[in-house]
């Protein structure tokens, strides 16, 4: 593991394959966390634990404060809602609907307006990318190796980040949503279980518009949609809602994790309704490369009154 004080980028070993590559310097791993690292763990796990326990990277704060305008090149960023002042110091879990590859940038910019430097959960493929991956890792990005034996590592890193007052952005759906009408899916229980076990407030983040910047398919079409967005400049809308009420639920009681999951999905959907005015049945922008193999938790954005 690369260790050192929070400072300027330096060269450090890659996390796998014996290759070497550039990455920013990471903070030292606290002794009380070293026991979580086993001999067969990938070295990125130790790095992410160290970063999760450290204050937000000064360079990340600097970029959010001075270069958030770069996101506006691709659309008009519009942020509504609020984060209560007493909650801004953290820890916080932000539950967001995932609509495309560009939306983490929009969410980061939106939360920065409230003085919150987010730590964003991301797939292992992105975290392993040259340059972008190491930078995302150093900002506090949490690697999610879905469908592998390393998947629980993300939970451990998230727990450490939250224990140290972190602001973690997670996608309950676990991937870009694939519902035909574009409304959020019900998601999985992982985030709900984490919130119930730690007692951390869950803040719903609803967003719309970022799906127009980068298409779903990984081909040259991404560049085409990005260039088109600079001309069309779609509205990149983000709404930050009030905390999801979970105080009456507890981990281990039958059905409570499922109830929390549906409440989180309902809160995200509720905040999305005004952002999608006129697009309730079908999005105006339809991405032909995006599969439509899932079902929304609340089709059409209609939430039942008897929500458990």
Token couple for 285: 């922008």
pLDDT value at residue 9: 38
Q: At what angle do helices 103-112 and 58-66 cross, to 10 degrees?
A: 90
pLDDT class of 14 with cuts at 50, 70, 90? very low
pLDDT value at residue 1: 37
Strand partners of residue 236: 77
Position 4 pLDDT exceeds 70: no
Q: What percent of the chain has pLDDT over 90?
A: 80
The domain spans of the chain are: 25-298
Q: Any idea which of 102-116, 119-133, 198-212 has the lowest mean pLDDT?
A: 119-133
Position 244 pLDDT exceeds 70: yes
Helices (H), the chain: 31-34, 43-53, 58-66, 103-112, 124-127, 132-138, 151-163, 190-198, 221-232, 256-272
Token couple for 114: 């409230």
> Helices (H) and strands (E) in the chain — how many of each?
10, 9
Mean pLDDT score, 25-52? 94
Instruction: Name the more confident of 15 and 289.
Output: 289
Instruction: Name the more confident of 308 and 64.
Output: 64
Residue 183 in contact with residue 299, Cβ under 8 Å?
Answer: yes
The DSSP annotation for 21-64 comes to EEE---PPPPHHHHTT--TTS-HHHHHHHHHHHSPPPHHHHHHH
pLDDT class of 128 with cuts at 50, 70, 90? confident
Architecture per CATH, domain 25-298, reads as 3-Layer(aba) Sandwich (3.40)
Helix (H, G, I), strand (E, B) or coil at 297: coil
pLDDT class of 21 with cuts at 50, 70, 90? confident
Cα separation, 22 vs 45, in Å, equals: 17
pLDDT value at residue 129: 84
pLDDT value at residue 149: 84
> What average pLDDT does the structure give for the chain?
90
Give the pLDDT confidence of 139-167 residue by residue, as tens digits: 999 999 887 888 899 999 999 999 999 99
Q: What percent of the chain has pLDDT over 70?
A: 94
Q: Any idea which of 5-14, 35-44, 60-69, 266-275 has the lowest mean pLDDT?
A: 5-14
Residue 15 in contact with residue 44, Cβ under 8 Å?
Answer: yes
pLDDT class of 13 with cuts at 50, 70, 90? very low
Mean pLDDT score, 125-135? 87
Q: Any idea which of 55-64, 134-143, 144-153 has the lowest mean pLDDT?
A: 144-153
């Amino acid at each position: 593991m690369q260790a050192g004080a929070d400072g300027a980028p330096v060269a450090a070993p890659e996390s796998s394959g014996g290759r070497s590559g550039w990455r920013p310097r990471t903070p030292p791993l606290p002794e009380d966390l070293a026991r979580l690292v086993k001999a067969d763990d990938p070295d990125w796990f130790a790095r992410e634990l160290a970063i999760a326990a450290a204050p937000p990277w000064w360079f990340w704060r600097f970029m959010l404060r001075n270069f958030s305008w770069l996101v506006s090149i691709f659309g008009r960023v519009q942020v509504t809602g609020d984060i209560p002042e007493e909650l801004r110091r953290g820890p916080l879990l932000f539950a967001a609907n995932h609509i495309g590859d560009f939306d983490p940038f929009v969410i980061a910019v939106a939360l920065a307006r409230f003085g919150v430097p987010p730590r964003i959960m991301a797939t292992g493929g992105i975290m392993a990318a040259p340059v972008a991956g190491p930078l995302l890792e150093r900002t506090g990005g949490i690697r999610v190796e879905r469908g592998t034996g390393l998947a629980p590592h993300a939970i451990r890193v998230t727990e450490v980040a939250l224990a140290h007052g972190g602001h973690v952005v997670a996608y309950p759906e676990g991937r870009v949503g694939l519902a035909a009408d574009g409304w959020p899916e019900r998601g999985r229980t992982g985030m709900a279980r984490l919130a119930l076990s730690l007692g951390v407030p869950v803040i719903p983040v609803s967003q719309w518009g970022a799906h127009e910047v980068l298409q779903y398919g990984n081909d040259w079409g991404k560049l085409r949609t990005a260039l088109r967005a600079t001309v069309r400049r779609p509205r990149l809308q983000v709404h930050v809602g009030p905390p999801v009420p979970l105080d009456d639920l507890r981990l281990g009681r039958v059905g409570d994790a499922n109830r929390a999951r549906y409440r989180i999905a309902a809160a995200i959907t509720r905040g999305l309704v005004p952002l999608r005015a006129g697009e309730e049945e079908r999005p105006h922008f339809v991405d032909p490369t995006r599969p439509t193999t899932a079902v929304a938790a609340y089709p059409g954005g209609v939430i039942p009154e008897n929500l458990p």
